[in-house]
Amino acid sequence: MNSTRSLVVAARIATKPSKCLSKSWARHSSTKTAPPLSQARSQNASRSFQTQGPRKNTAAGLAEASNPAMAFPCLDALESKSATLEARSLSSGPEPSYTSGITLNYHCDSPLLLDWGGMLPEFNIAYETWGTLNAEKSNVILLHTGLSASSHAHSTEKNPKPGWWEKFIGPGGCLDTDKYFVVCTNVIGGCYGSTGPSSVDPADGQRYATRFPILTMEDMVRAQFRLLDALGIQKLYASVGASMGGMQSLAAGVLFPERVGRIASTSGCARSHPYSIAMRHTQRQVLMMDPKWNRGFYYDSVPPHAGMKLAREIATVTYRSGPEWEQRFGRRRADPSKQPALCPDFLIETYLDHAGEKFCLEYDPNSLLYVSKAMDLFDLGASTQSASAARRAAHAQRFASGQSKEADAATCSLTLPDSPYEEQPESNAPSDLNKPVCQSSGPPEDLVLGLRGLRDHPALIMGVESDILFPAWQQREIAETLRRAGNKSVTHVELGEDVSLFGHDSFLLDLEHIGGNLKQFLG
């Protein structure tokens, strides 16, 4: 840490006007650390450039810079936060307590075998409920969350804090608690009470960190149904979710078709597409490139808050729409009377900065990595389901024979490809990349086969035209796929920009249209 501070100090000295160099050098002349080679070359180039231009000598005989050094309050704030977190680590540890308040907890002692060969010997699921379970236990709605949401969708007696779907749940509401018993969980892999990377591995008493196994949406759903088993709930009245929850809602019906009555999926997809995978990839990369991430082993140290902040800023860009921001922010600057700056300056920049800053210590970074990767892996196509079933069968056989781990470390031997990009033969893409790619005439047959088990389930599929993360065509694909699979009870709703400009976040904000259509569908 001392070496890091020395570099920060040296960098600050280098950015100060030349007239301060003599005093600064005198104070720090005892430092023996040489600048990095690239820095030395940069300094030499800078000196060379300065000797070619006109020089203005001061009384001390030193040249003044042409312009004053720029201030970087955003970086100062970042350094200050790191220093504060480091000081806190000396006493109680800097890792925040990721909690949304008091929840119910289900502990499962039975191992959970995962789609990609991993295993959780035991696990916890944090959950909350609203409404009353009827005698037949036939009025249950399982509410699935988005990526970073907790189980706290609505306030409870023990936790009166408003939930993330507060206005959608309640007596007479979209999820009418006079009629339904609503259950919402924090997914496994999360950090709000359910078992995830920040949890303790019972095998050695240490945090899982990146020893946590790769997850899928289906793994999360299987864990939820373990909870339903414990509650004695055999069949859901409905599986409801938006965003990642919309993906899980479909997966619940595919995995347990006989245990799900109807399905509502908002702003989701039946298979992850390249654009959303790309956006989540960039978020993971900026997080993993934060030195404080330390390959996932940052617990009991300073968490990678800078990487988390940047990841959230990227995510926020995809959550809302350009037309909404045009109305809210336009091209206005926070303070037009000041010089433009490289730190947040436009109102949209300050908005993103605030969104990242607010989130960076509210969610476990490793959970972001694992849960977002599970979203990328999501594909309800028949071939993916078949391959997963084969892996699970082999894994179950190993586990039954007492060999809980694979014989080799093939699952952890990923390397970067020798060729970074190559057209795949099955993509039907033109060899000339300047030619347009032909649009398909409908959903692939593999996806139709994969959703065939949902042909008897009434389904509500909702999308939003202004959504850039899960574009409306992806919800049209779900609806068309279900219909081609033989489902004659598909309701498809698409909100145009004249109705909602909130983009992907419409499912959190549009009570009238999202909530109204959902209430009508549930009956």
**For the chain, what are the domain ranges?**
104-273+380-398+442-522, 277-375
> What pLDDT does 56 receive?
54
pLDDT at 348: 93
| Ranges of the chain with pLDDT below 70 | 1-61, 88-99, 404-414, 420-440
Distance (Å, rounded) from C-alpha 1 to C-alpha 15? 22
Domains 104-273+380-398+442-522 and 277-375 share a fold: no
pLDDT score, position 408: 46
pLDDT at 423: 57
Nearest in space to 316 (alpha carbons), one of 345, 359, 261: 359
Q: Which residue has the tokens 């793994």?
A: 219
> Taking CA 17 as the corner, what is the angle to CA 14 and CA 20, rounded to the nearest 5 degrees?
85
Encoded tokens for 166: 């507060």
Q: Is 69 exposed, middle or buried (0-12, 13-18, 19+ CB in 10 A)?
A: exposed
Name residue 262's beta-bridge partners.
238
Residue 74, helix vs strand vs coil: helix
Q: Which amino acid is at 37?
A: L
Q: What is the CA radius of gyration of the chain?
A: 27
Distance (Å, rounded) from C-alpha 180 to C-alpha 231?
15
Around Cβ 355, how many Cβ atoms within 10 Å?
18
495 forms beta bridges with 464
Helix (H) or strand (E) holding 112: strand 112-113
pTM value is 0.83
Domain 104-273+380-398+442-522 = CATH 3.40.50.1820? yes
Cα(126)–Cα(119) distance, integer angstroms: 19
**Catalytic center residues:** 243, 467, 504
Do the Cβ atoms of 126 and 186 come closer than 8 Å? Answer: yes
Nearest to 287 by CA among 234, 364, 231: 364
| pLDDT number for residue 43 | 46
User: How far is residue 354's CA from residue 356's CA, in Å, rounded to a whole number?
Assistant: 5
All residues at 6 or more sequence positions from 80 whose CB lies less than 8 Å from its CB, including other chains: none
Token output for 103? 């929840």
| Burial of residue 201, with CB atoms counted within 10 A of its CB: 0-12 exposed, 13-18 middle, 19 or more buried | middle
Instruction: Tell me what pLDDT residue 109 has.
Output: 97
**Pick from 224, 192, 198: nearest CA to 211:** 198
143: β partners: 184, 240
d(CA 262, CA 240): 9
Question: What's the pLDDT score for residue 58?
Answer: 55
pLDDT at 8 (0 to 100): 42
Amino acid at 433: L
pLDDT of the residue at 38: 44
Task: Quote the CA–CA distance of 246 and 253 in Å, as a whole number.
Answer: 11
- The residue behind tokens 């939930």 is 163
- Select from 273, 256, 241 the least CA-distant residue to 477: 273
Name every residue whose Cβ is closer than 8 Å to that of residue 350 and which is 6 or more positions away in sequence: 334, 344
Query: Coil, helix or strand for 360?
Result: coil
Q: Where are the beta strands (DSSP E) in 118-248?
A: 119-120, 123-130, 140-144, 169-170, 175-176, 181-185, 236-242
How far is residue 96 CA from its own chain's centroid?
18
Burial (CB count within 10 angstroms: exposed 0-12, middle 13-18, buried 19+), residue 29: exposed
Q: How far apart are CA 153 and CA 448, in angstroms?
A: 32
Closest by CA position to 236, among listed 224, 246, 219: 224
Q: Which two tokens stand for residue 226?
A: 């373990």
Question: Per-residue b/e over 87-120, b at no fewer than 16 CB within 10 Å?
Answer: eeeeeeebbbebbbbebbebebeeebbbbbbbeb
Q: Which CATH class is domain 277-375?
A: mainly alpha
**3-class secondary structure, 119:** strand
If DSSP codes are grouped into helix, strand and coil, which group holds residue 354? helix
